[in-house]
Structure 1
Amino acid sequence: MTIWNLGSINSDHFYRVGHLPAPGETVLSAGMERGLGGKGANMSVAAARAGSHVSHIGAVGTDGQWAIDRLTEYGVDTRPIAVLDTLTGHAVIALDDAGENHIIVFPGANREISRDAVGLALAEATPGDILVMQNETNQQAFAAETGSKLGLKVAYAAAPFSAEAVTAVLPYLDILVLNHIEMAQLVEETGLLPGPKLGVDTVIVTKGAEGCVLYDRKNGWDAIGFDAIRVDAVDTTGAGDTFTGYFLAGIDRGMGAEDAIELAIKASALMVTRQGTADVIPDLKEVLDWS
């Protein structure tokens, strides 16, 4: 089986600061590092490191071959990634001493993916494969509809949140992952709570250090809570992406939702003890051996 990821690829620029700047405030950075990032790339690396075969559908600019090479090194199938005559997406990340962040993202090539590229990639998918998307690319609604017609299990991580983007893919979703703020925004915009009217079989609401809540059809939509693992966080960037990638890899391997969530919680907890994004996502052995 394959996890197909229509996902962003960014060059992440990290700036370590003593505190996050307030509006109008200028702060000095103690250093700068560049790494592979983007919610899509993070999820692809996480799922690949969790043991799944992952094929990434996306785009970089002419300055982005290094990102394709890095994804390949991490075990991701990069053949569906296009190189376009534009700039690779990038993110400016300010990271404070408590591990919290401010992030500014320039989409670049991530918003210029062609419909033909998505269609050609998904033509190789087989029923039962998983398709995941986030809101950092274009072509999401087309991919979701195509994936649903092909018999794929369609998942969506609703970040950065847009009610318009979520409602466009809702009719085709099997799995929806979003944080508690995004869930509140979705309810405010649509009036829909996890359940039959939302129409998504599995909904996971993450709550950061407070864990997450699972709502799914199998359990009659009853809320099932999961505690987070308490750690000293160094950097929370990419933790949610690691969670989603590991969760989908667990589902891909035939795990139930509850067991896949427990694995994903452990992976994301280990992730926040490290500084960086895709480059520091732990592999499955590290997660299983970590206590």
Structure 2
Amino acid sequence: MTIFNLGSINADQFYGVPRLPGPGETVAATARHTGLGGKGANQSVAAARAGARVAHIGAVGMDGGWAVERLRAYGVDVRHVAVTDQPTGHAIINVDGAGENAIVIFPGANRAQDRARIDAALAEARPGDILLLQNETSCVRDTARLARAKGCRVIYSAAPFDAAAVREVADHIDMLVLNAVEAAQLAAALGVAGDALPVGEVLVTHGADGAVWRGDAGIVEVPGIAVTAVDTTGAGDTYLGYFAAGLDADLPVEEAMRLAAGAAALKVTRPGTADAIPARDEVEAFLADRKT
């Protein structure tokens, strides 16, 4: 099977800071580096490193060839990544000594998706394939609707969070993925209880505390794995990419969540985003060590 991903591709510009700056405050950075990022790219890399076949649908600018090649090197199919006249998206990421971050995103080419290119990419989709979506690109609702019509399982990560965007796409997705703060915000916006969100499956991540999945089969809770965090950027994307790869391989939800928890825990011990996502054998070794 294949995991399709209509997802963002960013140049992540990292700045190590002693603390995250407050309003009006200037803080001197102690380190700087640039790497591959964007929620979409991170999720595609994670799923590919977990062993899934992944086809990324996205866009970069004339300055983004390096990002496409980096995705290809990680095993992602990049035939459906376009080069546009918009600059490649980028993010400015401040990371403090505890691994917490503050992020500013410039969407750039991520908001220049083309319906004809998306149609061509999903012409290859088959029933049982998975489509991943986030809020960092354009054409999300139309893509979800098309994939559903083809029998794909549509998994939507509601980040960066926007309640209106969730309402727009909710009728066309199978699984909604949020962190705990986003889940509370959405429940308040919809006027429903947190366990009554209007989607068949809901996955709520709780950072280091693990995640909870709700669906027709009931509720599955899998705790996080305690590690010393260096950089939490991209941890949720790593989790979702590995989780989707687990589902694609027909793992039970609980096993897919354990695999994802191991991948996310390993990722936060390393600085960076896509380039810091561990390979499947590393994750399995890490989880095996936790059992002994």
TM over 0.5: yes
SS in 1 for 2:36: strand
The amino acid of 1:232's aligned partner reads T
Match of 1:71 in 2: 71
C-alpha displacement of 1:211: 1.2
Please tell me whether the aligned partners of residues 60 and 109 of structure 1 are also in contact (alpha carbons under 8 angstroms): yes
Match of 2:81 in 1: 81
The amino acid of 1:72's aligned partner reads R
Equivalent pairs: percent with the same residue?
A: 54
Q: 1:232-282: per-residue Cα shift (whole Å, max 9, x none)?
A: 000000000000000000000001111101110011000000000001100
Q: 1:171-202: per-residue Cα shift (whole Å, max 9, x none)?
A: 1111111001100111111124466x644222
Match of 2:280 in 1: 284
SS in 1 for 2:104: strand
Match of 1:207 in 2: 206
Please tell me whether the aligned partners of residues 156 and 173 of structure 1 are also in contact (alpha carbons under 8 angstroms): yes
**Corresponding pairs, count:** 287
Specify every segment of 5 or more residues in structure 2 that has no aligned partner in the other structure, as ranges: none
Match of 1:102 in 2: 102
Q: How do residues 62-211 of structure 1 correspond to structure 2 at under 5 angstroms?
A: 62-193=62-193, 198-211=197-210
- Structure 2: how far apart are the matches of 1:209 and 1:287? 16
SS in 1 for 2:217: helix
Could you list the runs of 4 or more consecutive aligned residues of structure 1 that deviate by over 6 angstroms after TM superposition? none
Q: How do residues 10-29 of structure 1 correspond to structure 2 at under 5 angstroms?
A: 10-29=10-29
- Structure 1: how far apart are the matches of 2:243 and 2:202? 12
SS in 1 for 2:77: coil
The amino acid of 1:135's aligned partner reads N
Length-normalised TM-score, structure 2: 0.96
The amino acid of 1:115's aligned partner reads R
The amino acid of 1:204's aligned partner reads L
Match of 2:36 in 1: 36
- Structure 2: how far apart are the matches of 1:148 and 1:133? 12
Aligned in 2, Cα 1:212/1:269: closer, same or farther, shift over 3 Å? Answer: same
Please tell me whether the aligned partners of residues 194 and 203 of structure 1 are also in contact (alpha carbons under 8 angstroms): no
Match of 1:260 in 2: 256
The amino acid of 2:264's aligned partner reads S
Aligned in 2, Cα 1:203/1:245: closer, same or farther, shift over 3 Å? Answer: same
The amino acid of 1:23's aligned partner reads P
SS in 2 for 1:78: strand
Length-normalised TM-score, structure 1: 0.96
- Structure 2: how far apart are the matches of 1:224 and 1:69? 37
Specify every segment of 5 or more residues in structure 1 that has no aligned partner in the other structure, as ranges: none
- Structure 2: how far apart are the matches of 1:65 and 1:110? 14
SS in 2 for 1:48: helix
